[in-house]
Structure 1
Amino acid sequence: MSVDGFLFDAGRKMRHEEWKGSFEDYLNMAIKNPTITQLSTERIYNMILSHGTKEREDGSIEYGFFKNRIFGSTKQIDQLMMYLKAASMGLDIKKRVVLLLGPPGGGKSMILGMIKKGLASYSRTQEGAVYAIDSCPINEDPMHLIPEGRRGELRSRYGIRIEGKLCPWCQFRFENEWNLNLNNVPVRRIYLSEENRIGIGTFAPAERNDMDELYGSADLSKLEQYGNAGDVRAYDFNGELHTANRGLMEFIEVLKAKPEFLHILLTLAEEQMFKTPRFPLQYVDELLIAHTNEGEFLRFIGNRENEAIIDRFHIIKMPYNMREEDEEQIYHSALKSKLKVDNMKIHPGGLRLASEFVIRTRQHENELRVGMGGISPRFILNTIALAFVSVNKPLITPKDFYTVLCQQIHHYPILTSEKRDEYMNYLRDIGTKIHEYEEINVQPLSKSRNSNHTATRSSMFDDLILGD
């Protein structure tokens, strides 16, 4: 393919179908296909289901969206899906902020990243199509134009559920530009995108966070023209809460935020509305997902003044994985993608060794704290990367990896001397079995735990060399 052909093809894949029409056109489409009016939680729930499901032998559900991408988090995914299902039905649980609680590197950000990308892709399909009032800065749901008294009719006749009200910007234009005539309101299809700040917002606490980051600010260049900071034409509705409308709002390390930010979150969770200076409460339709670590959480709940905020969270614990098979799959997956190195491989016994070690560090005498501490998958992935550059061999043996791992644990600065000694003792125990890891069974992982069969063909061994 020529350079011109490559660039044309790449650009074509980035383009998407444009659709613009009248509110009447949109309403007729909605009557024929009510799914285009689905609310954010329902859209996200259906997005995940669109990738297919399968019933496991134990009766639990395997979701195709997460298959071979998330390992060892079956329980947590089930809890998230139960929340989304209940929230999409309009039950009261939708008035809670989903809080993913777990140690660093436990998969919180990864799951959120997958959902954000999945939602963006889903909005480009016919099933996940999203429509908004044209030119609205918060991508207002056109159905908010329907008067409260007529919404029940659409629900009973066509299954269209409408929640919320027009934003100040659309209300102003409806009254002053569109002359209260629904036929004058233009509608367009939108495509959710974190990069383009459409339907996916993110907030991260920082030393100098300003409230404007959440709810926008006055446009100083237009204040002189309109003479009133309360005029919608002189206000930028560009806060993260506006951006996330129709999709998802992520709060990173939410419990580190200042009290005034958390109070906005409290109102938003309960009422699906927030207050912007000089304007009435604004409705937004967005799934609220926050994440934090256990240390911050324990500090936060230690302050009784935070009880009202904690009560607004739907908490899903995200501990480290505690099954060696799943832990190995994490490394297996990484070695096929972000840790793939040409002409270098790692013996599967090295990954088995690492998995057994980290699972042991995550044990705790308190059952509620099992998996909430210990060595993270990220630490092992870093160690694998260091092994690739420090071991000058095409194949990193279990002994090679063991040596690098011992060095990393010995010099890991966040460990107390007691914890370092404890972990080094674990490694000494493992070191006595190096020969066992070098003779690791090459059958599929689920079978090798229960079999003493040793494969002899080199091709079978090569299949398990996870650097391929």
Structure 2
Amino acid sequence: MSSNEQYLQSIGQKGKVMSKEEMTFDSYYDKAMENPQLARNAVQRVYDMIMSYGTYEDEKGKVHYNFFRGRMFGAEKQIAQIMDYFKAASMGLDIKKRILFFLGPPGGGKSMFLSFIKKGLAEYSKNEKGAMYKIQGCPINEDPLHLIEDEDTRKEIWERFGVKIEGKLCPFCKHKLDYDWKNNISHVRVERFFVDEDSRNGIGTFAPAEENDMSELWGAPNLRRVEEIGNEADPRAYDFNGELHKANRGIMEFIEVLKADAAFLHILLTLAEEREFKTPRFPLQFVDECLIAHTNEGEFYRFIAVKENEAIVDRLYIVQMPYNMSYKNEEMIYHSALKTKLVVKGVKVHPGAVRLASIFAISTRYSTDNDKLRDGMQGISPRFILNALAISLVKTSSDTVTPLDMYKTLYDQVERYPVLDVDTRIKYLKILDELKETIEEFNKVSDSDIKLDKVINNRTKLFDRI
């Protein structure tokens, strides 16, 4: 093999798991009793994944999580709320029956936050602390310990080894246990599997659309197999490939979930409360999933205005994810982006230009009715500023985007931004004019004035989704 072939082969294999560990259920059982962490549920794994990066305390004694360090700026309050949820749910408290729900304006970091968690879980599943195993050939990555169906035996295992077995076999594995394995579980094959969003392994995603079909969530009959077997209720004639199946043992993401119709939301209710859902022709199916949903504020308020939706709202653990209200945190977003995805060779952005843009953005985000809870839930988004930075970088005729350049670009963008009503546009342009009056102060800002976080988490790209 030539050196080029070897190089290209290494590129293709980079980051991929090239072999899978296999064993009999006997061997897996011994392994799980020695290491109860193998039997953790999905929420416990997510919590342990984040904690595996460690924590640190600031000068005020407040705990921070290394997993989010250098990834999220100004979101300490939201991170604390999310970690409180994961910790309580992983302990088995009743909050585990709630859906973790991110609520905030577009560009507030909801999707990015979830993206980090999904990628973190995928990486965690590749190391020994995050190792996961399934029944070989199972389409939903079934927990092998579900082969132990007897409740008395499960209770004994809990008392002797501290291993808690919850849930039941999927219809596919139940059929194999009864007919192929003749209820002899000792020689059932078990294999390791790895969370991977691209291959729909341990990560499921659902986004409402005008013509959603229920099969997106719970699969559908395989017509060719139905014809062969002659029975639609036979698990061998069904494709267990819905998003709820593929998310088993990992994370199920619901995008703009409140736009879904009543039938989908009813499934979500049962899923949150019982960790089960109903598929036509089959009994209730158990799935172990960390349920995370997100939507924007407008959709949320339209939803809660309908009294019939109270039961669903009651099952949400809501975390507000507003825009930053500190220009120091806001400018960290843009300085980090200028090192990663906003790079133009030979052109730099003056730190005063970034500060001017950050202060402008913050100034637009205050609540109009003096409600502190509403601060950051409206106004100019980070995406708008990132767009303005990109335009400034390509329009400048010099090697530096100055504060005045930034002012001109922002003024032009606001003037032509069709989303704004007349009064809001006038208000934003007035803010910019006031900032222009102090342009010399922005010119004095130097690199040493920028409080940049030097500790960057190198296990993921910064701001790959915003």
User: TM-score, normalization: structure 2?
Assistant: 0.94
Q: What amino acid maps onto 1:433 in structure 2?
A: T
- TM-fit CA distance, 1:415: 0.3
Match of 1:51 in 2: 53
1:16 and 1:124 in contact (8 A); partners too: no
Q: 1:156 to 1:88 in 2, by over 3 A?
A: same
Partners of 2:401 and 2:3 lie apart in 1 by: 40
State the Cα deviation string for residues 351-403 of structure 1 (Å, max 9, x = none).
10011111110011212211100000111001111111122221111111110
Match of 2:81 in 1: 79
Q: Which one of 179, 183, 208 corresponds to residue 180 of structure 1?
A: 183
Determine whether 1:398 maps to 2:400.
no
Determine whether 1:190 maps to 2:193.
yes
Partners of 2:19 and 2:236 lie apart in 1 by: 30
Match of 2:159 in 1: 156
Match of 2:299 in 1: 296
2:140 and 2:245 in contact (8 A); partners too: yes
Match of 2:11 in 1: 10
Partners of 2:164 and 2:331 lie apart in 1 by: 45
Match of 1:409 in 2: 414
- TM-fit CA distance, 1:8: 2.6
2:364 and 2:428 in contact (8 A); partners too: yes
- Percent identity between the aligned chains? 54
Match of 2:461 in 1: none
State the Cα deviation string for residues 165-212 of structure 1 (Å, max 9, x = none).
111111110000001011131100001101011100000111111010
Q: What amino acid maps onto 2:193 in structure 1?
A: I
Point out the more displaced range, 151-160 or 87-96. Answer: 151-160
Match of 2:109 in 1: 107
> What pairs up with 1:379-398 in 2 under 5 angstroms?
379-398=384-403
Partners of 2:397 and 2:210 lie apart in 1 by: 44
Partners of 1:180 and 1:187 lie apart in 2 by: 16
1:97 and 1:314 in contact (8 A); partners too: yes
Partners of 2:280 and 2:206 lie apart in 1 by: 19
Partners of 1:173 and 1:143 lie apart in 2 by: 15
Partners of 2:451 and 2:392 lie apart in 1 by: 26
2:351 and 2:450 in contact (8 A); partners too: no
2:351 and 2:446 in contact (8 A); partners too: no
SS at match of 2:310: helix
Q: Which one of 317, 321, 340 corresponds to residue 318 of structure 1?
A: 321
Partners of 2:210 and 2:322 lie apart in 1 by: 28
Partners of 2:11 and 2:39 lie apart in 1 by: 31
State the Cα deviation string for residues 45-84 of structure 1 (Å, max 9, x = none).
1111111111122222111111011111101011111111
Q: What amino acid maps onto 1:128 in structure 2?
A: G
2:388 and 2:410 in contact (8 A); partners too: yes
Determine whether 1:368 maps to 2:373.
yes
> What pairs up with 1:238-257 in 2 under 5 angstroms?
238-257=241-260
Match of 1:429 in 2: 434
SS at match of 2:292: strand
Q: What amino acid maps onto 1:431 in structure 2?
A: K
Q: Which one of 307, 310, 318 corresponds to residue 310 of structure 2?
A: 307
Partners of 1:117 and 1:205 lie apart in 2 by: 23
Partners of 1:148 and 1:445 lie apart in 2 by: 60
Match of 1:96 in 2: 98
2:36 and 2:163 in contact (8 A); partners too: yes
SS at match of 2:67: coil
Partners of 1:304 and 1:270 lie apart in 2 by: 20
- TM-fit CA distance, 1:446: 4.4
**5+ unaligned residues in a row in structure 1: which ranges?**
448-468
State the Cα deviation string for residues 195-240 of structure 1 (Å, max 9, x = none).
0111000001111110100000111111111111111011110000
Higher relative contact order (CA 8 A, sep 6+): 2
Determine whether 1:200 maps to 2:203.
yes
SS at match of 2:195: coil
Partners of 1:207 and 1:33 lie apart in 2 by: 46
Point out the more displaced range, 271-280 or 140-149. Answer: 140-149
Partners of 1:77 and 1:430 lie apart in 2 by: 32
2:396 and 2:405 in contact (8 A); partners too: yes
State the Cα deviation string for residues 316-345 of structure 1 (Å, max 9, x = none).
000111111100100011111111222110
Partners of 1:234 and 1:391 lie apart in 2 by: 62
Q: What amino acid maps onto 1:228 in structure 2?
A: N
State the Cα deviation string for residues 79-98 of structure 1 (Å, max 9, x = none).
11111111111111111111
> What pairs up with 1:221-236 in 2 under 5 angstroms?
221-236=224-239
- TM-fit CA distance, 1:37: 1.4
Determine whether 1:127 maps to 2:129.
yes
Partners of 2:129 and 2:254 lie apart in 1 by: 28
Partners of 1:148 and 1:111 lie apart in 2 by: 39
- TM-fit CA distance, 1:444: 4.4
SS at match of 1:98: strand
Match of 1:454 in 2: none
2:26 and 2:187 in contact (8 A); partners too: no
Determine whether 1:335 maps to 2:338.
yes
2:157 and 2:164 in contact (8 A); partners too: yes
Partners of 1:78 and 1:37 lie apart in 2 by: 26
Partners of 1:279 and 1:152 lie apart in 2 by: 27
SS at match of 2:190: strand
SS at match of 2:447: coil
SS at match of 2:142: coil
- TM-fit CA distance, 1:11: 3.4
Match of 1:269 in 2: 272
Point out the more displaced range, 56-65 or 90-99. Answer: 56-65
Determine whether 1:259 maps to 2:296.
no
